[in-house]
Structure 1
């Protein structure tokens, strides 16, 4: 079993600074969202994105692997991989692992959503990379929050279950270390502030001896100014030969600029945009006057459809709570998900919903990203997604309705329209995606059945 530093109970979770709630609606906190995805993912997402690989040296052959055996891993490590239930590499692992394990080492910038197997990929790379005979820190991995660092550590512990000589330490706030003693753990996972202290102030880690540096969730990291600067300061202490691996779910310009600063001469793995999300989803809108009207429409809709599971999005917590109470009165099994819940509470609600214990999930925006429940057949925008200026928030719309029609299955998305402004939003969404959204009269059962069959 992997040796683990005793994490003392006086640890204070590091609150991400890029959160905060808007007055009226729940705001998505990127670090919390990422943690939530890790908590609720027990298996890899079947990703349909094509992977685009840009090699540092375009003349060298591009290796990809279809089995873990091809990677020539140590037997104990291969045993750990299979023990975790990974039968074959995921799409991103096929391409990334040969680059991460290459000799001489290659640097990598990779785009990957949560659930694509990237944590397992770089955990495997670190475990393969270390020399257990050397009792000093060789691999360093930083993540934006305390909880995310613990999640990565758990993956390494599981995967390294049969590698007893490889030890792991958590560089997180509250894990007090004696000054002046060099760490003997070969792998350190932590948050930027603590890891920087361990390298500079306490000198527990000798940065010049680090041969692999992993920076996870770069997009979340740079959203917090302090973390961005601390990461760069850690990076500056490493040698030129240290292998750099950087992962990010999104690749906006700010992430690229940061990545280029930290990762010289990289190979790049990018996910091509998945444009086809809307092909299996039928989209409708229903004209309503007020929330009671919307509620009636929702009940009619639910009554006429054979629905496996539904997800309903509201703009505010107050509206979500009102809707949950009324649906429960009507006898529906409803779960509520909103931002005042802890990440663990949210994970447990999603788990119940995923296991079919509740058929309807009412939620604010906190839940629009990354939740893969295969049986969702209906998504309802009780409130349409709008940005700060009151225009259509197309990206959120796509994330929300993308919860249905997954894995090639048919799905339905119904939008509630209660004003001229809402109708404008529908028109903006139609224009943006170049798809027609059909008007639906939920009081006409025959019409509804013909449209939705």
Structure 2
């Protein structure tokens, strides 16, 4: 089934090839220094200085969002309840269970089914009737990658367009070049049987003659370039825009200058223009931005799912240093029947060291860190998913959003801490949540090597009101009892 993602590696290669046509300055990533391990995996070169417990690997929101889109093979199994707040409380509330209920154009319905959608996802059930309603309704929706939201607003734009009008009618803003290309591919796939609908990319490097108005019906792009096309170059007449989509609002707000550029585009639109805003989070900054851009909105929020730890047995192992941690890891892996394991480190330097040691022990190991490009990270995850490597060593760049059903062991080689050195309970939950997926039994083992890290364990126990048992990896009888 198709999610907010590319379904096959061939699509990855095709999009990567197409991106070369545009200016490289639009890329999120630069060239990174990497070396190969003995299994041919990409491993970042060691830092020249800094200690093993130095600054943690930073998570770039735009890169995280792009990675999630690239690795989705199917819609996320989301058990969240959807909360709908209507602008008009007296309006009848309804949702759809099939795409036929939306009364789409036959060629558009064919495009939806051709992409592998069988029925609307939970977010689509509620959002699509609002987005396709007449008269048009504004919408603010909370939706993470993988819930089908890109397909939802792509379907809305394709339905909205009148191909007979040879001007731009729908604008879609995305915070980065790569994310814009992702959205464009979904629109082009879904509109495969609508040849009269034209799509254009407003991204730096895609240049056109000044003053020439576009005849493309849908334009996707980054805020700065879209602003130039609407004002400086006059490629788009903002007064003729009838649907305005802002995707990844939380990422947009975190990116320098994008919020101001988006607001400048918004101010040129007519009051009748339909506004659709999507964000994975609804923090205060997102709400303030949404309130300025989306008047009288319908609101769709995901009620926070109570994360369950019922299927995950949690332990800690008392160690003296990183070498003893590694010995305990080998004991643990040797005694447990492990399908696949994920091991989290705080720094790239520690992750590189651990990969080197595991490879020497003969383990098939993959590695993820912020030094790899998003494309390289996606390729590593695909290899791990397919079982080519049984162990994935990673920093926080892989703490959330990756569902690999066969992962049965998560090891916190370094415990997650915040900037103040206290327990980062949210990251801990995301990390160990990589195991125990879909009702399976999982194990989470935490390596403790100091009084401070023991304090972190105690903080985590208090936060989740769960006891984390001490584990002696040298005790064979105790180790064998883990899987019972």
**TM value normalised by structure 1:** 0.95
Long gaps (5+) in structure 2: 1-17, 30-46
The correspondence for 1:25, drawn from 56, 68, 75, is 56
Q: Deviations over 1:327-378 (max 9, x none)?
A: 1111111101111111101110001101111111000111112112122111
2:478 corresponding residue in structure 1:
447
State the match for 2:377 in structure 1.
Answer: 346
The whole-number CA distance in structure 2 between the counterparts of 1:452 and 1:428 is: 26
SS of residue in 1 equivalent to 2:328 = helix
SS of the counterpart of 2:269? coil
Aligned pair partner of 1:209 in 236, 240, 246: 240
TM-fit CA distance, 1:250: 0.8
Aligned with 1:277: secondary structure? coil
Question: Are the equivalent residues in 1 in contact too, given 2:145–2:280 (CA < 8 A)?
Answer: yes
Q: Which residue of 2 aligns with 1:169?
A: 200
- Work out the CA distance in 2 between the residues paired with 1:410 and 1:251: 32
Q: Which moved more, 1:188-197 or 1:46-55?
A: 46-55
Displacement, 1:8? 7.5
Residues 27 and 178, structure 2, Cα contact 8 Å, conserved in 1: no
1:99-150 residue CA offsets vs partner (Å, 9 max, x unmatched):
1111111111111111111111111111111011111101100000000000
1:3 aligned partner: none
Asked whether the equivalents of residues 126 and 212 of structure 1 are also in contact (C-alpha less than 8 Å), the reply is: yes
8 Å Cα contact 1:244-1:263 kept in structure 2: yes
> What secondary structure is seen at the aligned counterpart in 2 of 1:103?
coil
Is 2:469 aligned against 1:438? yes
* Preserved CA contact (<8 Å) 1:312 1:380: yes
Q: Let me know the Cα RMSD of the aligned residues.
A: 1.7
The Cα of 1:16 is off from its aligned counterpart by 5.2
Match in the other structure for 1:233: 264
Aligned to 2:332: 301
Of 288, 293, 318, which residue of structure 1 is paired with 2:319?
A: 288
Q: Alignment partner for residue 131 of structure 1, among 153, 162, 182?
A: 162
Match of 1:14 in 2: 26
Following TM superposition, by how much is the alpha carbon of 1:10 offset from its aligned partner in structure 2, in angstroms? 4.5
Partner of 2:43: none
Kindly report structure 1 stretches of 4+ aligned residues shifted beyond 4 Å.
Answer: none
Report the equivalent of 1:413.
444
Matched, 1:248 2:260: no
**Distance in 2 separating the partners of 1:125 and 1:226:** 28
Change (3 A) 1:228 1:132: same
Q: CA contact under 8 A between 1:213 and 1:243: conserved in structure 2?
A: yes
Task: Kindly state the Cα deviation for residue 275 of structure 1 after the two structures are TM-superposed.
Answer: 1.3
Shift of the alpha carbon at 1:52?
1.1
For the 8 Å contact 1:7–1:170, the answer to whether it is kept is no
1:335 to 366, 375, 379: 366
Among 286, 293, 298, the alignment partner of 1:262 is 293
Distance in 2, matches of 1:276 and 1:365, equals 19
Deviation, 1:9, is: 2.6
Q: Which whole-Å CA distance do the structure 2 matches of 1:304 and 1:212 have between them?
A: 58
Q: 1:13 to 1:399 in 2, by over 3 A?
A: farther
Q: TM-score, length-normalised on structure 2?
A: 0.89
The Cα shift of 1:277 comes to 3.1
Equivalent residues of 2:366, 2:384 under 8 A apart:
yes
- Asked if 1:98 corresponds to 2:129, the answer is yes
